[in-house]
């Protein structure tokens, strides 16, 4: 089931005037001065869902050269991957074919955290390993000849931890309801795990 960010926020009881949810092309976040400095939640999303993951082969090959390791969700086990097709297959296990939201996160300082996300090197433990699978994806793909860019969205809010918890719980609930036999794929693709944030 394809979820819109606006609907997801509304579903947890928040209002979403046009001025509250802001966005920027992922390819343009190198200059993040337009991003709010205060607390809030943020999302990475394509404009439309893609049946197959639009992987960036160059990014995957660079990751393999650095020693690509994938941690299986729900465990501490990490597997080293040496082949790009094996890496694609492993990542694709977590792809939701009719979903466009790739990541949901929160922070006390949006501008700083998004800058860390942008500068993160795939495979490193810092500064933003939690959403690093976003870095395996093309910044723009095509669906039926139409450009489908990756975008950053952010929603300023003081109770960012509580809001992120509610967003992820709601996201997972909708996914489980719409595909009860595929509970493995209930988080956004780049959310490597769900840990409730203290409110």
- Per-residue pLDDT, 19: 56
pTM score:
0.91
Residues with Cβ within 8 Å of residue 25, at least 6 apart in sequence: 139, 149, 150, 151, 152
- Per-residue pLDDT, 35: 86
| 12, two tokens | 């947890």
Confidence class of residue 48 from pLDDT cuts 50, 70 and 90?
Answer: very high
Asked if residue 70 has pLDDT above 90, the reply is: no
Helix (H) or strand (E) holding 42: strand 40-46
| C-alpha torsion sign, points 165, 7, 46, 50 | positive
Task: Check residue 195 and give left, alpha or beta (phi > 0: left; psi -120 to 50: alpha).
Answer: beta
Q: How far is CA 153 from the centre of its chain?
A: 11
pLDDT one-digit tens code per residue, 170-199: 999 888 877 666 556 689 999 988 776 555
Asked if residue 42 has pLDDT above 90, the reply is: yes
Task: Classify residue 57 as exposed, middle or buried by CB count within 10 Å of its CB (0-12, 13-18, 19+).
Answer: exposed
Helix (H) or strand (E) holding 164: helix 160-178
Q: What is the mean pLDDT of the chain?
A: 88
Rounded to whole angstroms, how far apart are CA atoms 155 and 163?
10
> What average pLDDT does the segment 135-142 reach?
95
**What CA–CA distances, in Å, run from 23 to 36, 69, 130, 179, 180?**
11, 31, 20, 29, 32
- Per-residue pLDDT, 65: 94
- The answer to whether the beta carbons of residues 8 and 91 sit under 8 Å apart is no
- Polymer length in residues for the chain: 199
At 150, is the secondary structure helix, strand, or coil? strand
- To the nearest whole percent, how much of the chain has pLDDT over 90? 58
Rounded to whole angstroms, how far apart are CA atoms 174 and 76?
26
């Amino acid at each position: 089931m394809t979820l819109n960010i606006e609907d997801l926020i509304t579903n947890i009881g928040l209002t979403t005037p046009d001025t509250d949810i802001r966005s920027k092309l992922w390819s343009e976040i190198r200059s993040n001065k337009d991003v709010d400095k205060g607390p809030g939640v943020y999302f990475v999303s394509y404009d439309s869902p893609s049946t197959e993951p639009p992987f960036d082969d160059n990014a995957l090959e660079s990751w393999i050269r650095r020693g690509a390791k994938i941690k299986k969700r729900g465990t501490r086990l990490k597997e080293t991957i040496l082949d790009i097709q094996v890496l694609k297959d492993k990542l694709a296990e977590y792809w939701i074919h009719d979903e466009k939201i790739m990541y949901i996160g929160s922070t006390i300082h949006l501008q700083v955290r998004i800058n860390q996300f942008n500068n993160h090197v795939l495979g490193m433990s810092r500064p933003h390993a939690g959403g690093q699978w976003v870095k395996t994806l093309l910044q723009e793909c095509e669906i039926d000849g139409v450009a489908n860019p990756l975008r950053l969205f952010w929603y300023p809010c003081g109770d960012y931890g509580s809001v992120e918890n509610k967003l992820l719980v709601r996201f997972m609930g909708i996914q489980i309801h719409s595909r009860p036999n595929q509970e493995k794929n209930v988080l956004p693709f780049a959310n490597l795990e769900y840990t409730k944030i203290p409110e």
